[in-house]
Amino acid sequence: MSSRPGLDRARLRSALQAIVGPDGVLTEPDELLVYESDGLTIFRATADAVAFPRSTAEVAACVRLANVEGLPFVARGAGTGLAGGCLPSEGGLVIALTRMARILEVDYANQIAVVEPGLVNLHLSQALGPRGFYYAPDPSSQLACTIGGNVANNSGGPHTLKYGVTTNHVLGLEVVLPDGEVVWLGGKVRDPQGYDLVGLFVGSEGTFGIVTKVVVRIVRRPPAVRTLLAVFDQLDQASQTVAAITARGLTPAAIEMIDQLTIQAVEDAFGAGYPRDAAAALLIELDGLDVGLDEEAAHVVAACRESGAREVRLARNESERQLLWKGRKHAFGAYGRIAPAYMVMDGVIPRTRLPEVLRNIERIVTTHALRVGNVFHAGDGNLHPNILYDPRKPGEEERVLAAGAEIMRACVDVGGTISGEHGIGLEKRDFMPWIFSEADLATMAAIKAVFNPTGRCNPGKIFPTRKSCAPGEIAYQPHPLEASGLIQRL
Amino acid sequence: MTATLLRSLAEIVGPAHCLGGADRAPYVVDGRTPCGVVLPGSADEVARVVRAAAAVGVPVVPWGGGSQMSRGTPPRDGALVVGLRRLGRVLEHEPGDLTATAEAGITLDAFQAALGTGGQWLPLDPPAPGTATLGGVLAANAAGPRRQGYGTARDLVIGMRVVAADGQLIRAGGKVVKNVAGYDLVKLYIGSLGTLGIIVDATLKLRPRPEAEGACWATFATLDAAAGAAGVLAGSELGPVALALLDARAADACAPVVGLPAAAAPAVLVAFDGLARTVAWEGEEAARRLRAAGARAVEGLDAGGTARALGAVRETRRLLASPVAIATVGVLPADVGAYLGAAQTTAQAGGFELAAVAHAGHGLVTLVLAPGGAPRPAAATAAVLAAWRDAARARGGHLAVEWAPLGVRAACPVWDPPGPGVDLMRGLKARLDPLGVLNPGRFVGGI
């Protein structure tokens, strides 16, 4: 996106520098490139400036300046989002929170911590580790993603099956509202009076304001863990096992499914010890007190065997456990060995519909002459089909988008939804009418107008751009440098 | 005008489901008599009723089992009560998905009974499950002692449908256990006391019925010692499903219900569920830690005793024979002991008796006040409540008057002075219910 007409970039730069210091502003086109995309690189948009505030007051001042200048603005954490939610889709100001990354307070007696939004998710658990505590939500990107970004997207992760997603762990938020006012929603004490504004704010994808402090619950790390890998010759068997475990009254901490294509990619990349010929594997983790875990593990093994598992392995020590998890957590990276690019999908279905939907996904992708790898949170029905493709091949990206839309449709058709943890952002806004009526969307728009009456805070996200949308209708907008032939997408 | 409204309502729901005259008596709250009571039989009928009332400017008061109707500021005189009790069906229960959808008017007990056939339950245990309805529990965000282990409605509801102020049917969330599509309206409607919409059905996450349940009942010489022991368990790896702290008076009232001899000594109730082997170990380990923390006596409870004990601490209104006020307070968990001590001093100084139960791990306290001897004037009751409120707020907490006679509530507001988010709350109310149709005036900040 080109610069806004009439914008005096030098003046904007110095005004921002007056707020955040001389080292906290980017306005040069080559600097801005880094901030034009998130983890879903298919969408790009260039900001007019990126500012790096160091305090709530500086965030508020940036927001007020944007209002005075009539600029749209959007908060950004680590940029690991997967729906384009933090993109400056109409230009304007990116407010990057990476310089606000402190743990302000840890209160073990009350099991809460107060942190800044730019804190990396894993850094919080690492800081709490010596006292035996941790922060439970664990997105796969937790090495990089920030707590503020987690709040915006209501992020999940493998262990949310047992422990809940971000919204179940946030008690209070200090936010800068889109008009620059600073307000606390909730706090350290439970059940504050009035509407649950914290619950409403979490997952609002940066459209209600900018989070500047977060009060989170911290919990004791379970003293014992058992990690199993169940190997299947048929995908359906693995799918059926998920319901079989549930039917036995067990609540594992995580049930992750890895399909054959993904197993082979992982083994090619770094060898997690998954059997290459397996149709699918389930990575199942139980945690809690040591006393009951072997009995629980025995129940899980029995459920896997009854569903046709050819082998169930139990990690014998922490290094074996870490290796099994490495295969799961680094699966996305491993796709890089077998395809130049992949598009991560995120949909949710009722757990009992896994077998038919996985077959359906395979059929859809094959119809579009593409390949798909599945690695996902099977325990709560949260699918992540990854469509592999080569962006250099003409027409392939369009086929990916068309297949992706059909997969989302397949999720909706069995009573599911279009996002379990990545958010709507830019990517899925035109799918919203598949699950919400006009009245539902009008209610959401009315709520947005309360927080964000000018619409200047993160415009263009969540809400559909047109009344209806056929699958695959999302338009790819080439980057200016790409259009001019200076760069190409790899 | 009212007569016209009642005629049109009778056309919507049928005359048999439209109550007037003396039939309204059970629906009088705080001396406020509704203009009528209408009992719609479907979500669509609820929507049409709301539209009809809104069209003539008559506010509606949603009514489930009526168990929480004394909460909040009194309703308007002449409002229309919309009773949900005919919406009492379980619409879907898929055990393999661990989810179920039910209509708002089903009682908690009836819902649990239906789920039990699939070996599952909703781990939410608010007071009065025999009369409280699903919709009412969600609207009031009511919870019980098991919130320590399972959380509250906001952790369990994955979707709902509500009738909005303009009579449109709105879907919030969905039917799957993970969902970040659009704003999380479920959170907004939970605890909104019917001021933003009338919940007509809800979809919930379920749990398998645990194989075993057990608990420890520990008594202490002092409240401080009991609070300290509760703190030890709250921060432990044992993961109790319930952790209640009872002052001497509450413990004295609850012990006979549990099957233990009445004894006026502060107590801690800690409960576990799961595999039998694990529950047995947890019970022993908890008993050991309670003794180490100074317990004078620790009784292990079997499944039946555990259920009775959790039921007793849940039904706080039964703690004292003739209460004059019940307040719910939130403070930091570590402050519960000190707060209860101060509350006791205030009550005694005013010539009152206090019974208190806390969900110790979450810092939530229910205070039940009764006259120590001769009846006390409303102003004296209000003065105690006001002092309790000041003490809670001084610790960063909050107090709501959950129940008290109108005279007391006239002297001591039900809700705290509104906090920093009240402008947003009023903005939401104004946007979503611009005509003030839905339960107006009952909620925080005059909403």
What pLDDT shows up at residue A270?
A: 85
Q: Which residue of A has its CA nearest to B336?
A: A110
Note the pLDDT of residue B316.
Answer: 87
Of B211, B238, B445, the CB nearest to A194: B445
The pLDDT of residue A466? 62
Q: How far apart are CA B416 and CA B397, in angstroms?
A: 10
> Looking at the domain B2-83, which fold is it?
3.30.43
CATH architecture assigned to B94-208: 2-Layer Sandwich (3.30)
- The nearest CA of chain B is from the CA of A168 a distance in Å of 6
Q: Does domain A9-96 have CATH number 3.40.960.10?
A: no
pLDDT digits (tens, 9 = 90+) for A75-110: 999 999 999 999 999 999 999 999 999 999 999 999
| CA gap A456, B260 in Å, rounded | 63
Best mutation target among A131, A188, A189 (most B Cβ atoms within 10 Å) is: A189
- Would the CB atoms of B396 and A424 count as touching at under 8 Å? no
What tens digit of pLDDT does each residue of A308-352 get? 999 999 999 999 999 999 989 889 889 988 999 999 999 999 999
CATH 3.30.465.10 residue ranges for chain B: 94-208
List of chain A residues whose C-beta atoms are within 8 Å of the C-beta of residue B98: 246, 351
Cα distances (angstroms) measured from residue A239 to each of A285, B175, B446: 16, 19, 51
| Model pLDDT, residue A483 | 47
Tokens of A416: 């599911």
What is the reported pLDDT for B70? 83
Q: What is the mean pLDDT of residues B208-219?
A: 96
Q: What percent of chain A has pLDDT over 70?
A: 94
Instruction: Note the Cα A156 to chain centre separation in Å.
Output: 7
Alpha-helix residue ranges (DSSP H) falling in B123-267:
134-140, 147-150, 153-156, 185-189, 223-234, 248-258
Closest to A164 (Cβ–Cβ): which among B155, B196, B234? B155
Residues of chain B contacting residue A447, judged by C-beta atoms under 8 Å apart: 183, 185, 188, 428, 431-432
Average pLDDT rounded to a whole number, residues B423-440 = 97
Distance of residue B372 Cα from the nearest chain A Cα, in angstroms: 30
From-to residues of CATH 3.30.70.2190 in chain B? 212-314
The complex's ipTM? Answer: 0.97
The pLDDT of residue B1 is 62
CATH of domain A103-220: 3.30.465.10
Beta-carbon separation of B155 and A168 below 8 A: yes
- At residue B313, the pLDDT reads 96
Q: Give contacts of A195 with chain B, Cβ < 8 Å.
A: 188, 191-192, 196, 421, 424-425, 428, 444
Amino acid B14: pLDDT: 96
pLDDT band with cut points at 50, 70 and 90 for residue B68: confident
B-facing residues of A in 291-350 (CB < 8 A) are: 291-292, 295-296, 348-350
Residues of B in contact with A203 (CB under 8 A): 180, 183-184
The structure tokens listed for B286 are 């908890």
pLDDT of A49-73, one tens digit each? 999 999 999 999 999 999 999 999 9
- What b-and-e string marks burial along A141-151, b requiring 16 or more CB atoms within 10 Å of the CB? bbeebbbbbbb
- A381 and B CB contact within 8 Å: yes
Buried b (16+ CB within 10 A) or exposed e, B78-96: ebbbbbbbbbbebeebbbb
Q: What is the pLDDT of residue A6?
A: 77
pLDDT band at A3 (very low <50, low <70, confident <90, very high): low
How confident is the model over B372-385, as a mean pLDDT? 95
Interface of A with B in 188-247 (CB under 8 A): 188-200, 202-204, 220-223, 243, 246-247
pLDDT mean over B163-170: 98
Chain A residues 241-280 within an 8 A CB cutoff of chain B: 243, 246-251
- Span A209-245, pLDDT tens digits: 999 999 999 999 999 999 999 999 999 999 999 989 9
Mutation to test the A interface, candidates B44, B171, B178, most A Cβ within 10 Å: B178
The pLDDT, as a whole number, for residue B99 is 95
Residues of B in contact with A444 (CB under 8 A): 182-183, 185
Q: What is the pLDDT of residues B72-101, one digit of tens each?
A: 888 888 999 999 999 999 999 998 899 999
Calculate how close chain A gets to B47, using CA atoms only, in Å. 13
Each residue's pLDDT tens digit, A138-154: 998 999 999 999 999 99
Residues of chain A positioned with their CB less than 8 A from the CB of B210: 249
Reduce the DSSP state of residue B265 to 3 states and report it: coil
In this prediction, residues B91-117 reach a mean pLDDT of 95
Token pair of B6, please? 């009642």
Helices (H), A22-69: 29-32, 56-69
For the domain spanning A224-325, the CATH number is 3.30.70.2190
Q: Are B157 and B138 in contact (CB under 8 A)?
A: yes
Judged on CB neighbours under 10 Å (0-12, 13-18, 19+), B375 is exposed
Superfamily of structural domain B316-411: ACT domain (3.30.70.260)
Chain B residues with CB under 8 Å of A204 CB are 183-184
Domain chopping of chain A, boundaries: 9-96, 103-220, 224-325, 339-451
Q: Which CATH number fits domain B212-314: 1.10.3720.10, 3.50.50.60, 3.30.70.2190, 3.40.140.10?
A: 3.30.70.2190
Q: A339-451 adopts what CATH topology?
A: Alpha-Beta Plaits (3.30.70)
Record the tokens describing residue A354, joined without a space: 């896994």
Contact list, B422 vs chain A (CB under 8 Å): 194
The reply to whether residue A352 touches residue B97, judged by beta carbons under 8 angstroms, is: yes
Query: Cβ atoms within 10 A of the Cβ of A99, count?
Result: 18
Query: Region B316-324: what's the mean pLDDT?
Result: 90
Over residues A243-292, the pLDDT tens digits come to 899 878 888 999 999 999 999 999 999 888 999 999 999 999 999 999 99
- Tell me the pLDDT tens digit for each residue of A457-480: 999 999 998 644 443 334 444 444
The mean pLDDT of chain A is 92
Total-model pTM:
0.95
Q: What is the pLDDT of residue A482?
A: 46
Is it the case that residue A179 has pLDDT exceeding 80?
A: yes
**Shortest Cα distance, chain B CAs vs residue A224, angstroms:** 10
Rounded-to-integer distance, Cα B93 and Cα B17, Å: 28
Q: Please give the average per-residue pLDDT across B337-364, as a whole number.
A: 97
Instruction: Give the A window 16-45 contacts with B, CB below 8 Å.
Output: none
Please tell me if the domain spanning A103-220 has the same topology as the one spanning A339-451.
Answer: no
B31 CB contacts (<8 Å, ≥6 apart)? B74, B406
d(CA B32, CA B59): 13
